[in-house]
């Protein structure tokens, strides 16, 4: 016989009621809970749930990464890898810069007789300290700051080298003019030259008979022999005198070079007149205080005092 609906409902209600055994009455009596007991039970449940929730959250936070964190960590690893590659390339560029500096100082500037660039200028770093301070405080700050400093130093080195090459280029363009201006030929034709009586250096003076420094070259040639400019330049001085060098002229060739032509007879050149190498300066030699017709030429460089 199937139970009625009322009996079924009563059975379900009785399942939800808890009973306790009373030894005095030898019967089961329903347990009646107060509001305080219900509140305590709920509180214990909530506190336990909160405690275990915190433990789980901390465990997940410290030991497990979220998908977004994993993506960020992968990007950081990729950036660090690229920075290492960048540092390797910087080292290669440093070697290239060093090679350019050595060739510049020991080859190009030697050819054009120019002083090498000071190491302090090449190695100077114009990086702003505040700029590096902005990179501090991160996980990869040391690598970022080191790389930034290397890039700044390398940038400065290439900047200095570029300016140096500009200077060398200017010197190369001026080299043709410099070569034309340098005293490079004999001022008297070989066919007119009898001999060279005195060279540069110490000698016994032909008149005073003592050892004296001779700062020129004496050419022996017939009277009225023409004299030619040894390099392009401008007549800077024309002197007429009966002592010392006698009648003489000085040509300024530029680039720190001058030539002096002494013991002349006729001198038709004027101060400020431009001459070119091989030009007949319309001057001629005369006998000096010796019986020989002697003509003296002297090259004055920028290092002469």
- Structural domain ending residue among the three candidates 181, 215, 235: 181
State the DSSP code for 104: I
Taking phi first (over 0 means left), then psi (-120 to 50 degrees means alpha), and beta for anything else, what does residue 246 get? left
Q: Give the residue among 89, 90, 119, 126 at the shortest CA–CA distance from 102.
A: 119
Q: What are phi and psi of 249, to 5 degrees?
A: -135, 155
State which residues form the domain around 130. Answer: 73-181
Rounded distance between C-alpha atoms, residue 15 and residue 22, angstroms: 19
The answer, as to whether pTM is greater than 0.75, is: no
SS3 213: strand
Q: Are residues 202 and 284 in the same domain?
A: yes
Note the pLDDT tens digit of each residue in 93-120: 989 988 988 888 888 888 777 888 888 8
Report CA torsion sign: 169, 175, 176, 181. Answer: positive
Q: What is the pLDDT of residue 295?
A: 47
Work out the pLDDT band at 146, boundaries 50, 70, 90: confident
Q: What is the pLDDT of residue 287?
A: 44
Higher pLDDT, 9 or 236: 236
> Quick check: is 125 in a domain?
yes
SS3 182: coil
Higher pLDDT, 29 or 258: 258
- Structural domain ending residue among the three candidates 30, 63, 96: 63
- 287, 271 in Cβ contact below 8 A? no
Neighbour tally for 26: CB within 10 Å: 7
Mean model confidence pLDDT for the chain: 77
Domain count for the chain, please give it: 3
Q: E strands within the chain?
A: 19-22, 27-30, 195-198, 201-204, 211-214, 217-220, 226-228, 233-239, 248-254, 257-262, 264-267, 274-275, 280-285, 294-300
CATH of residue 227? 2.70.70.10
> Quick check: is 132 in a domain?
yes
Angle at 83 between CA 78 and CA 89, to 5 degrees: 130
> Quick check: is 68 in a domain?
no
Q: Are residues 147 and 170 in the same domain?
A: yes
């Amino acid at each position: 016989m199937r139970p009625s609906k009322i009996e079924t409902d009563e059975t379900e209600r009785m399942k939800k009621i808890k009973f306790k055994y009373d030894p005095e009455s030898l019967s089961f009596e329903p347990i009646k809970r107060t509001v305080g007991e219900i509140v305590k039970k709920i509180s214990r449940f909530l506190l336990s749930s909160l405690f275990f929730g915190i433990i789980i959250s901390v465990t997940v936070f410290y030991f497990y990464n979220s998908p977004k964190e994993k993506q960020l960590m992968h990007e950081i690893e990729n950036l660090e890898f690229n920075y290492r590659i960048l540092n390797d390339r910087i080292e290669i560029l440093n070697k290239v810069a060093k090679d350019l500096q050595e060739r510049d100082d020991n080859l190009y500037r030697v050819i054009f007789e120019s002083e090498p660039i000071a190491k302090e200028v090449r190695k100077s770093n114009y990086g702003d300290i505040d700029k590096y301070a902005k990179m501090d405080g991160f996980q990869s700050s040391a690598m970022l700051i080191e790389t930034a400093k290397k890039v700044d130093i390398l940038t400065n080195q290439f900047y200095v080298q570029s300016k140096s090459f500009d200077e060398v280029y200017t010197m190369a363009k001026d080299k043709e003019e410099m070569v034309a201006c340098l005293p490079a030929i004999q001022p008297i034709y070989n066919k007119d030259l009898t001999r060279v009586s005195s060279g540069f250096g110490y000698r016994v003076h032909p008149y005073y008979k003592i050892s004296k420094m001779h700062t020129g070259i004496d050419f022996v040639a017939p009277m009225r022999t023409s004299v030619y400019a040894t390099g392009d330049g401008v007549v800077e001085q024309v002197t007429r005198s009966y002592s010392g060098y006698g009648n003489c002229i000085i040509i300024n060739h530029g680039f720190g070079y001058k030539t002096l032509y002494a013991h002349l007879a006729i001198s038709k050149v004027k101060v400020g007149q431009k001459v070119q190498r091989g030009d007949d300066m319309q001057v001629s030699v005369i006998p000096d205080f010796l019986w020989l017709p002697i003509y003296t030429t002297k090259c004055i460089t920028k290092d002469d005092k």
